[in-house]
Amino acid sequence: MDAVSHHGAPGITPAEADNRRRLCAIMLRCGFASYRREWWHYTLEHEPYPSTYFDFPITDD
């Protein structure tokens, strides 16, 4: 991804920057860690099944 996808990226609108900050604050409070190069990428810090790969459909389609 390019630099615009990073947290705190320059060149985005004030509303976009505020939304990214708000999402990050909420996710951090809920136990997730952010990936600094992708504003949408979070990982649960205390993963209950760290060695398990879940592969199942999540819809009925």
Please identify every residue annotated as catalytic.
38
Instruction: Tell me the two tokens of residue 57.
Output: 């459909």
* Neighbour count for residue 39 (Cβ, 10 Å): 23
3-state secondary structure of 39: strand
- Rounded Cα distance between 61 and 15, Å, is 35
